[in-house]
Amino acid sequence: MHDPQFDAQGNLTHLLSTEGLSRETITRILDTAQSFLEVSDRNVKKVPLLRGKSVFNLFFENSTRTRTTFEIAAKRLSADVINLDVSRSSTAKGETLLDTIDNLVSMHADMFVVRHSESGAPYLIAQHLHRIGRNDVHVVNAGDGRHAHPTQGLLDMYTIRHYKQDFSALTVAIVGDVLHSRVARSDIHALKTLGVREIRIIGPQTLLPAEGERLGVHVCHDPRKGLVDCDVIIMLRLQNERMSGALLPSAREYFHCYGLTPALLALARPDAIVMHPGPINRGVEIASEIADGKQAVILRQVTFGIAVRMAVMSLLAGTHAGTQA
């Protein structure tokens, strides 16, 4: 089955998931992001690569960090950015998602950055654009339901590469609510593609996917075993908004068993880095002394995220040579 992320020539035209991206494509995005990092240090933080292009941020689900970094990234590429007020948009009045897309395409949209609570919504938009012959309009998935969050996965890969260089020797632990986490899925696909030695998912049975082993990861319910000799620890937020019913006794009990504390971190390698997609919940999944400590690279992830999103948008828009599958 044809991957809707790529055109007939194999060029990346939408970013919908890290699944299906080749090592070469991911590396190309990360290398391009590296070239954009220095833009943030300039007095004038802009390059003209998307001048004249219109980027529509369609966030049907609340977000602050992701929407802001996408907006900053697009503006640094000199694009015109339109933030759709979804709570007051025509979709709230009964218009279908695809009718909304058709109207925005008529307004000469060049790119849609889409966050939606329903898994698959960005795919639906990409397939619709193909059907109506608008392959010049690009879709970036900024998070869809429990399915995928590819730019977060890519910025996580950038962060790991920045601090660890070689993926092949690494043991990476993903800790917490893996079951409801689109970030975890995006990270796992990308880590496997980049050749990480071992991926461990750690959490209570109620918060780990039943198909964990089939994903090619090691499942562990005891963090005292799972964190031993890890090089990278990715902590996850409890996705309370996606849980149906209580899956945990309490936040306090969760922190007691799975919260990252100095004692647990000491089980990892001395140079292990601690990551988190944010927003962090102090005293629930991570202790403050860890979040603010020297091994945490959480704020650097946010900085890297702007450069990665600049890279994705510039590559999709064709301002760099086509990225092959």
Helix (H, G, I), strand (E, B) or coil at 66: helix
The arithmetic mean of pLDDT across residues 232-247, rounded, is 69
Residue set of the binding site for L-aspartate: 93, 182, 237
Tell me: do 60 and 177 sit in the same domain: no
Tell me: do 202 and 285 sit in the same domain: yes
Place of tokens 């970013």: 15
Tell me: do 293 and 168 sit in the same domain: yes
Tell me: do 102 and 132 sit in the same domain: yes
The larger pLDDT score, comparing residue 309 to residue 93, is at: 309
| pLDDT of amino acid 240 | 56
Other CB atoms within 10 Å distance of the CB of residue 92? 11
Helix (H, G, I), strand (E, B) or coil at 257: helix
Counting the structural domains of the chain, the total is 2
Task: Give yes or no for a contact between 312 and 271, defined as CB atoms under 8 angstroms apart.
Answer: no
The larger pLDDT score, comparing residue 88 to residue 186, is at: 186
Tell me: do 160 and 289 sit in the same domain: yes
Residue 322 lies in a domain: no
Distance CA 238, CA 316 (A): 32
Distance CA 53, CA 117 (A): 27
| pLDDT of amino acid 324 | 43
Query: Strand pairing partners for 248?
Result: none
| pLDDT of amino acid 321 | 42
Distance CA 141, CA 158 (A): 18
Residue set of the binding site: 65-66, 93, 115, 149, 152, 182, 237, 278-279
Tell me: do 121 and 167 sit in the same domain: no
Residue set of the binding site for carbamoyl phosphate: 65-66, 115, 149, 152, 278-279
Show the domain range for 125. Answer: 23-148+303-316
Tell me: do 157 and 297 sit in the same domain: yes
